[in-house]
Amino acid sequence: METVQLPIPRSIWPLPARQTLAIEILDQRFLPHHTRVNRLETVLDCARAIRDMEVRGAPLIGITAAFGAAFAVQEAKRLEGSTHEWQTAMGHLIAQLRAARPTAVNLHWAIEQQLAYMATRQDDEKLALELFEHAIVLMDEDRETCRRIGTHGLGLMRQIAERKNGEPVNILTHCNAGSLAVVAWGTATAPIYLAHLEGLPIHVWVDETRPRNQGANLTAYELGLAGVPHTLIADNTGGHLMQQGLVDLCLVGCDRVTARGDVANKVGTYLKALSANDNGIPFYVCLPSSTIDWGIQDGLAEIPIETRSPQEVRYVRGMVNGQWQDVLICPPDTPALNIGFDVTPARLITGLITERGICQANKEGLRSLFGEMQDVDV
């Protein structure tokens, strides 16, 4: 299984370590029509790439930030002055990285991982390179984590496939929790890719996911490259499909999960969870455990929800005559509000699919898989 390569472009990769450490990313703002690669070698490069959504997806934001932490040391060490001063400079740079986007907790998780690793190192001179190499370790772990999520989700898919007697298993997904949101495999797409590789008959309903259309731009693109049967739909359509028996399973990713199982994900996820619940359709959230915020309980009250530019609502970006264009869909002076995420309460979630297995979306469920977190003050 692990040797199979999905025919999907990579989202992020390190460049060989030279005088200046650097990585490259696939600039996802230009997909599916152009494959543009950006080189990142400073904290500001990473913060910009995260903020402007050149990279997006909670796990990929985390990995980008992990490299950003290495760059923070690289830059701070180039400043003149005492040891105390480079550490202060690094702290300021790290703070800029943390501020890039508010909702995904993986950003903070990755920085914490790097700071903890840093505390174990002795040699200041090699520190930037060591953090860079540790970011590569985290990157490899992310790939393996997603493969494990896929394996656990595959069990569910097999059960449904058995009931369907050769008819395709219809999965609905929202936004892009795909290969492009992580290092490889995806979170919500990992079970889909494994099922497809195994030859299970499947079909994916892809929510276009306004306002930025990551479903249309990214999920339809990567499922198409991988040869997974899929159909693009407007975000409004999923409820009708569920009422008509055309959805067997919902699989989504997430940006933050609370200790009691509330889930922040791309805005509109809550509406699909309501509809799945109303129609008795299993609704699973796929996540690496780095997405769990053990320090908070109530998602609606405690997860910060990002507001983005109203221009993303007033305009839709797409391709016409080989050119990217932003077309205006309303009177130019129309007030608009662009909320990035919503919170799906744990009661609407059938289960959480993690790298350690599937659990109920509640404190007991999460503790059953992540017992070592019992000593966290939650």
The residue among 148 and 314 lying less far from a second copy, judged by its C-beta, is 314
Which of 17, 118, 305, 378 contacts a second copy by CB under 8 A? 305
| Site for a second copy contains 35 (CB under 8 A) | no
Span of 85-93, 98-106, 112-120, 202-210 interacting with a second copy by CB under 8 A: 202-210
Query: Do 179 and 8 form a contact (C-beta atoms < 8 A)?
Result: yes
The residue among 34 and 126 lying less far from a second copy, judged by its C-beta, is 34
What secondary structure does DSSP assign to 50-102, as a single string?
HHTTSS-SHHHHHHHHHHHHHHHHHHHHHS-S-HHHHHHHHHHHHHHHHTS-S
Which of 153, 238, 253, 288 contacts a second copy by CB under 8 A? 238
What secondary structure does DSSP assign to 104-116, as a single string?
-THHHHHHHHHHH
Which of 207, 255, 262, 293 is flagged as catalytic?
255
Give 293's strand partners. 258
Which of 11, 74, 187, 209 contacts a second copy by CB under 8 A? 209
Which of 99, 116, 336, 376 contacts a second copy by CB under 8 A? 336
| Site for a second copy contains 267 (CB under 8 A) | yes
**Exposure string for 226-245, b = 16+ CB within 10 A, e = fewer:** bebebebbebebbbebbeee
Give 258's strand partners. 293
Span of 47-55, 113-121, 150-158, 233-241 interacting with a second copy by CB under 8 A: 233-241
Query: Do 234 and 155 form a contact (C-beta atoms < 8 A)?
Result: no
- CA–CA separation, 282 vs 351, rounded Å? 8
3-class DSSP state for residue 344? Answer: strand
Rounded to a whole number of angstroms, the minimum distance from the CB of residue 322 to a second copy is: 10
Told to judge if 298 belongs to the known catalytic residues of this protein, a careful annotator would answer no
Span of 14-22, 53-61, 141-149, 209-217 interacting with a second copy by CB under 8 A: 209-217
- CA–CA separation, 127 vs 124, rounded Å? 5
| Site for a second copy contains 314 (CB under 8 A) | yes
The residue among 46 and 264 lying less far from a second copy, judged by its C-beta, is 264
Which of 64, 106, 217, 258 contacts a second copy by CB under 8 A? 217
3-class DSSP state for residue 208? Answer: coil
Q: Given the DSSP bridges, would you call strands 230-233 and 169-173 parallel, antiparallel or unpaired?
A: unpaired
- CA–CA separation, 302 vs 315, rounded Å? 31
Rounded to a whole number of angstroms, the minimum distance from the CB of residue 218 to a second copy is: 9
Size of the site for a second copy (CB under 8 A): 64
| Site for a second copy contains 298 (CB under 8 A) | no
Rounded to a whole number of angstroms, the minimum distance from the CB of residue 209 to a second copy is: 7
Query: Do 60 and 100 form a contact (C-beta atoms < 8 A)?
Result: no
- CA–CA separation, 88 vs 90, rounded Å? 5
| Site for a second copy contains 7 (CB under 8 A) | no
Which of 29, 210, 256, 260 contacts a second copy by CB under 8 A? 210
Query: Do 353 and 361 form a contact (C-beta atoms < 8 A)?
Result: no
Span of 44-52, 53-61, 129-137, 265-273 interacting with a second copy by CB under 8 A: 265-273
Query: Do 222 and 228 form a contact (C-beta atoms < 8 A)?
Result: no
| Site for a second copy contains 179 (CB under 8 A) | no
3-class DSSP state for residue 159? Answer: helix
Rounded to a whole number of angstroms, the minimum distance from the CB of residue 236 to a second copy is: 3
The residue among 68 and 178 lying less far from a second copy, judged by its C-beta, is 178
Residues designated as active site: 255
Give residues in contact with a second copy (CB under 8 A).
32-33, 208-211, 213, 216-217, 220-221, 224, 229-241, 243-244, 266-268, 270-272, 274-275, 278, 300, 305, 310, 313-320, 325-331, 333-339, 341-343
